[in-house]
Structure 1
Amino acid sequence: MQLWCTDWLRTFEDASESTERKVQVAKSSLQRMKSVGKLLSTISTSLERTIEAVSNQSLWMIRVSGFSSLPDDVIARIFELYYEGYRNHVGDDYFNSCGDCRWGRSFRAANVLTQVSRRFRLIALHIPALWDCISGNTRHAEEMVPALRARCQYPNIFINYDCLKETRISTGAKFFRLLPPADQWRGLAVFHGYRKGGRKFFEDIQAISDGRLVSLLDLQISLGRDLWLLEEIEVDEDDTPTNLTESESALLAEWSFPKLKRLSLNDIIPTRMDCLTLQECRIVLGINDANWDLHSLGTFFECIPLLESLSFSFIDVIPMEPDDQMLLRLSEPVRLSCLRLLELHATGETEGAFLTNVLDLLDLRATSTLKVSLRCDSSNPDTFSACISDWLSALACTKRDGDRIFPDVRDLRLSLHGKCSECVLPYSDVMRSVPRVRNLVLNLPEISEPPFKVVFEYLKELRLIRLEDCNSFRGWNVARDLERVEPQKLKQLEKFEIEGSRGLWRYRKRLAKRLGNKLVWKE
């Protein structure tokens, strides 16, 4: 105060000064301080704008300077983390669309890093993990593979047999001969279409490895069999509903994978595999006329007792013949005592009966996390409702003894995709099948809300509800439902999260009144 109004303080404390004099000094001091305040405000605004401008102009230089000042070992670790994320993303994208000849063609991140600066190049060249992906589908594979082999002894291999003709390496056998010995491979991802004359992949692997892939941690096999192609070729007589010939199935059963941790199978059902250590398995079936051999699938599950994570994706799949279904019901479910995560994805014309048949293969009592994603693209409300209801009912019912129960599931994520804001779905069937769920995540972008009164009725241990992008939920309906829930059941709820569900925002006060500090909004 003394800094800004010394004259006022002196006058105010002087008892001999008249009131009129004090008023005059007070007005003068206030006017002067207000003028200074305006000037400082103008200066402050100008300073803030200048700070922002300089920050924007220098941000990149500061980041580069700061990054460059890091020690080599820290930069090397950053490169490894960056490349690991890039490799996984690119590898998954290519595997999901592996019929494309671009699949597995190139992993460019490491090459980009070497071109930034001489220092980065020297660091990158001495990190084996940055060069662990070797693709047989680049045009210059014959020159590149030896260089990559020198930089990384334990590679991940990517090859699309149907596109080898576009490269200088004309056969898979020739490509495999360029690689390090098969007992050093860490990963193998292969796509092979259904072509007259058989699929050479199995023969090539047998020849190069003698079936001993003792260091392999990750295996991805995708065998195509497009309908248009089937009409133009002569199908092998020994072809089976596993999409493997008897000889291919026999070879795969003989191979040894003592360290295999992750397995992805696209349109293929092995009968047996020697991979007792397998922890993660992903199975994609998308051939709607295959009459898939689920007996073989059940036999395969018996080979992987340590499985912890299982993912199914079904695209346009119909169930097997009635006689086969009868035999399936007579077989005992395979118990996977270590299975913790089960993911189910269904789309297209997949029938609920097929989903039921697959789930009936397994004893799922150990599962603790269940993720369900269903997509129906029909714009007809009745068709959409029938399709989603068929899948949900298949999830909640068995063909053996009625209701299917997941007694240990604590986390449930339900994602329904399509355009139907007015439809009645059997949510109660699903909730009844997971009575011990504590954490419920609903991702229903264009689907109407479930009856939350029913949710609380069946899920008696519920602690968390999270709504993600539930943009078609009617706020008044949700609020009314929650108001009907017994206070004791709401009391045990710890958190009710809402993220990206725009339609509920206008009812936030009503929801907050009912939920209190349990309600959490996320933008």
Structure 2
Amino acid sequence: MGWRKVGGDGEELCRLIDYLVDGMQTLKSSIQMGRRLDGKGKMKVGSKELWCSGLYCDRAGNSTRPSVENTKIALRQMKDAKALLSSISKSLDDTIQTVTDDTSIDCRAVGLSSLPDDLLTYIFEIYVEMSVSPFERIDSDISPQILASVSRRFRQVALDSPGIWKHVSYRDWTKTLLLYKERCPNPIIHIDSTHDALPPVKMDKFHIYPYQQWRGLRIAYNDKYEGHLYFQHLHQIIRSPLDALEDLMICNDNMNKRDETPLFVQLDGDDLRSLSSWQMPNLTHLDLRNVLPLAPLQCSNVTSFRVHVDNYTEEHEDLNMVAFRSLLQSMPKMQSLHIALLDLADAFSNAPSGPVSLPELTSFKFEVGGTTSDLVVRRIMELVVTNELTRLALSFYPCHTKKEDIFDNWVSTIFIRRIPSSNVGYTPFVKVEEFSLDVERFRGSVGTFYSIFSAMPDVHTMSLILPENAMLPFGKIPMNLDNGDLHRLRSLHIKFLKASSYPDGFTDHLYNLDEFLRDGHCKELERVEIQHRRTDNVAEAKAQLQKTLGKKLHCYT
């Protein structure tokens, strides 16, 4: 007797449905009597009772077993019912997915709508900040208009929140700019001409927002000639102090034609006169990318300054240290300094020696990349009073993978320093409490890393991003650190980057770190995070370190 496919006969299909309904009714009655499918409480529903009770009913005669013919009929019925249930289950799955797809946006909106206004506003502000790229381009697919179109609640919250409308691009249509102006009278103005696919910025749009109301100004242009047009126009309209301006970013960089268009970093002539004429009494954040004014700016209340200088072409410009020193001196209240240099081979050497007076500077981030010379690094470090810093972040991106000494030389220039006109060494970063180091490819040497660690006796938070084959000194430190270096370390984060020439070698670092900690170093350590690629050879080393640290160790892949 062959098995029949479900669905070919309507009458048979109805009988199968009746069969399933009868089984469900039996199950319902059993549950009402206190019995369970899972058998908890020793009251389990019998499966034979649900699906083939008639097969085991009392029979006349001596036989206690069902006949072969009746067994085949029962099995066929149960298998057909199972196939029908599978079809029903698939139909239910498809319907669940369809309803989910149709209502997911509304359901999420309902969930967000249940949040209080202040929290929802905060989420909206984070969403809008995502529209600003690292190069200050505004993504039109992330906008307050989209938020306001989701629901009535979203619209009300969006319209009542000026901060959601603060990013204004002069590439937008005039109608859009007027809408934003109505919602936020003190915007952050974005003037970006580096995207060829977008319409150019029209000068008449500069008058839509009075410059006295600009909270921020972010200018990005392709080259000095294009930048000249903007500075020329801004010089014509800015006639009084920019009292509302808190944030200024100027970027000179053609991302698409870096190899063709030479970068002229130094800002001079009419453009310099325009920028240096701006009175910015409330400016707190200044960001200059491939722009170095050759005269001081009127921004004495800046607390955060970032300067990024690239030199991509053969027409190299030396770093004018006289101008850079003068620029720093125009910001005496600076608390945070971020300098990024790429491919700078030389620096003008006629600047006076000694650090700039920045009494409130406590945070310093220094990025060095490409072919930047030791001379440039040294000139920069001469400007900074390092023994007053509490936060230090260093990033190194050398381009010559075969010249290991480049990284070591940079580190030596930064960390192994002496007081001018003195033969007595000193600890250059004696007050640093938070330190991060990001090295893209270079191994370094044990001595290099030791010079870093020994320069910061008070560090309590350390983050290291290193290649797997980095020469971390933990295996050598126990015999050298008798003076208690790293004794205040409380948090250590290490991320190992894959190094093809050193497969699974980072496991040695785990063993060495374990030995270092078991020797009694870093007794105040509270948390160790290690991020590494997945490998079969790390289990034993990780287990050993886990035994030493217990719950303090957190590993990620």
Same fold (TM over 0.5): yes
The structure 1 residue matched to 2:178, chosen from 131, 136, 146, is 146
The structure 1 residue matched to 2:134, chosen from 82, 93, 101, is 93
| Distance change (3 Å), C-alpha of 1:377 and 1:198 | closer
| 1:430 aligns to 2:449 (yes or no) | no
- Could you report, residue by residue, the CA deviation over 1:374-425 in whole angstroms, capped at 9, with x for unpaired residues? 22355x4x32x2232232223213486476711110111111112x669767
| 1:461 aligns to 2:488 (yes or no) | yes
Cα distance, 1:184 vs structure 2:
0.7
- Could you report, residue by residue, the CA deviation over 1:465-486 in whole angstroms, capped at 9, with x for unpaired residues? 2222455653245314532567
Give the TM-score, by structure 1 length. 0.75
Equivalent position of 2:116 in the other structure: 74
C-alpha distance in structure 2 between counterparts of 1:197 and 1:217, whole Å: 25
C-alpha distance in structure 2 between counterparts of 1:164 and 1:57, whole Å: 41
- What 5-or-longer segments of structure 2 have no aligned partner? 1-38, 51-85, 500-504
Q: Secondary structure at the match of 1:199?
A: helix
- Could you report, residue by residue, the CA deviation over 1:400-454 in whole angstroms, capped at 9, with x for unpaired residues? 6476711110111111112x66976711121222222122211124443501155
Cα distance, 1:58 vs structure 2:
7.4
Structure index of larger Rg: 2
Q: Secondary structure at the match of 2:307?
A: strand
The structure 1 residue matched to 2:210, chosen from 170, 181, 193, is 181
- What 5-or-longer segments of structure 1 have no aligned partner? 1-28, 41-45, 96-102, 232-240
The structure 2 residue matched to 1:386, chosen from 381, 400, 405, is 405
C-alpha distance in structure 2 between counterparts of 1:92 and 1:210, whole Å: 31
| Distance change (3 Å), C-alpha of 1:65 and 1:203 | same
Cα distance, 1:121 vs structure 2:
3.3
Any conservation in 2 of the 1:76–1:127 contact (CA below 8 Å)?
A: no
Any conservation in 2 of the 1:438–1:461 contact (CA below 8 Å)?
A: yes
More helix by share: 1
Equivalent position of 2:357 in the other structure: 335
The structure 1 residue matched to 2:245, chosen from 216, 220, 225, is 216
C-alpha distance in structure 1 between counterparts of 2:457 and 2:131, whole Å: 38
Equivalent positions of 1:78-477 (< 5 A) are 78=120, 80-95=121-136, 103-104=137-138, 106=140, 108-138=142-172, 141-161=173-193, 167=199, 170=202, 172=203, 174-177=204-207, 179-196=208-225, 199-224=228-253, 228-230=260-262, 243-270=266-293, 271-287=295-311, 289-321=316-348, 323-324=349-350, 327-329=351-353, 332-378=354-400, 380=401, 382-383=402-403, 385-398=404-417, 401=420, 405-418=428-441, 426-453=448-475, 457=481, 458-469=485-496, 473-477=505-509
- Could you report, residue by residue, the CA deviation over 1:34-83 in whole angstroms, capped at 9, with x for unpaired residues? 8769999xxxxx9xx99x979988778588457437769835742x3334
Equivalent position of 2:527 in the other structure: 495
Any conservation in 2 of the 1:416–1:447 contact (CA below 8 Å)?
A: no
RMSD: 3.9
C-alpha distance in structure 2 between counterparts of 1:209 and 1:31, whole Å: 83
Q: Secondary structure at the match of 2:272?
A: helix
Amino acid at match of 2:362: R
- Could you report, residue by residue, the CA deviation over 1:284-342 in whole angstroms, capped at 9, with x for unpaired residues? 11026110112221222222222222212212222214x43xx443xx30132322322
Any conservation in 2 of the 1:318–1:350 contact (CA below 8 Å)?
A: yes
C-alpha distance in structure 2 between counterparts of 1:484 and 1:66, whole Å: 50
C-alpha distance in structure 2 between counterparts of 1:228 and 1:357, whole Å: 29
C-alpha distance in structure 2 between counterparts of 1:30 and 1:308, whole Å: 66
Any conservation in 1 of the 2:457–2:487 contact (CA below 8 Å)?
A: yes
| Distance change (3 Å), C-alpha of 1:338 and 1:87 | farther
C-alpha distance in structure 1 between counterparts of 2:498 and 2:390, whole Å: 28
Equivalent position of 2:515 in the other structure: 483
Give the TM-score, by structure 2 length. 0.71
C-alpha distance in structure 2 between counterparts of 1:37 and 1:353, whole Å: 84
Amino acid at match of 1:375: Y
Cα distance, 1:158 vs structure 2:
0.7
- Could you report, residue by residue, the CA deviation over 1:154-184 in whole angstroms, capped at 9, with x for unpaired residues? 11111124669963754x3x2212x221111
| Distance change (3 Å), C-alpha of 1:464 and 1:117 | closer
Amino acid at match of 1:146: L
Any conservation in 2 of the 1:449–1:474 contact (CA below 8 Å)?
A: no
Aligned residues with identical type, % of pairs? 21
